Amino acid sequence: MKNKQVIFNDWGLIDYKEAWDKQEALFSDTVNLKIKLRNQQTDTEGNENYEYKPTPNYLILCEHPHVYTLGKSGKPEHLLLDEKGLKEKNAVYYLINRGGDITYHGPGQIVCYPILDLDNFFTDIHLYLRTLEEAVILTLADYGLSAGRYPGYTGVWFDADNERARKICALGVRCSRWVTMHGLAFNINTNLDYFKYIVPCGIDDKDVTSMRKELGKEININEVKKILKHHISVLFNMELL
């Protein structure tokens, strides 16, 4: 039985480590429950009274204070600030367990953490990433912005086919037993100066942008959250709770 119900939460502006710990707890609980349910199902095969209970799913949106995170495949030298520089920029730095290289999170950026059991949707991590990208592409289209993908890279880009290529959304996920965590970072009113202190996602010859920069005005981030949440729910055929 596939469980399409997804518990939605907006954590607002939350410390990165606090959000990471909360994610880890939900992720671990889901993985452990999945293992337990699978074992129970195996032990009760042929029992007509056995009722399988599906695993839960979560969709979380939030913002973080200034923080740099480095994924498992990243290079520490892609952070261009030392400890003193981080303190001067009022930023912190974490090595984390997602895929991908270094990225920045900060106020004015929507961070989306889907904690999904993909057995409830589809077991294809590449399709999962492309679907998250599509939700961002559709959200931008609602604002009259035409974005797309950059062949060979994850994320959402403008003008990916020429020298003006610039990234507006980064992706980095972890998946175990088809349960996901981490997710995407979507620049809305982000202070793009903070990207000058890293080699974003390990790419040193491309620019980073935001909706505010592309549209030339401040954007209502809560409105964007609603639109993004809608597109994610439709593309995944979710029933949001």
Tens of pLDDT, residue by residue over 56-65, are 999 999 999 9
Residue 172 has pLDDT above 80, yes or no: yes
How many CA atoms within 13 Å lie on the side-chain side of 33?
Answer: 15
Residues annotated catalytic, as ranges: 201
148 vs 57: CA distance, rounded Å: 27
With contact defined as beta carbons under 8 Å apart, do 192 and 208 qualify? yes
Give pTM, 2 decimals.
0.93
Rounded mean pLDDT of 169-182? 95
**All domains of the chain in start order, with CATH:** 5-240 (3.30.930.10)
With contact defined as beta carbons under 8 Å apart, do 211 and 133 qualify? no
**Model pLDDT, residue 44:** 56
Quick count: other Cβ atoms within 10 Å of Cβ 72? 13
Q: What is the DSSP letter of 210?
A: -
**Model pLDDT, residue 199:** 87
Q: What is the pLDDT of residues 135-146, one digit of tens each?
A: 999 999 999 999
Q: For residue 131, give the nearest of 27, 59, 45, 46 by alpha carbon.
A: 59
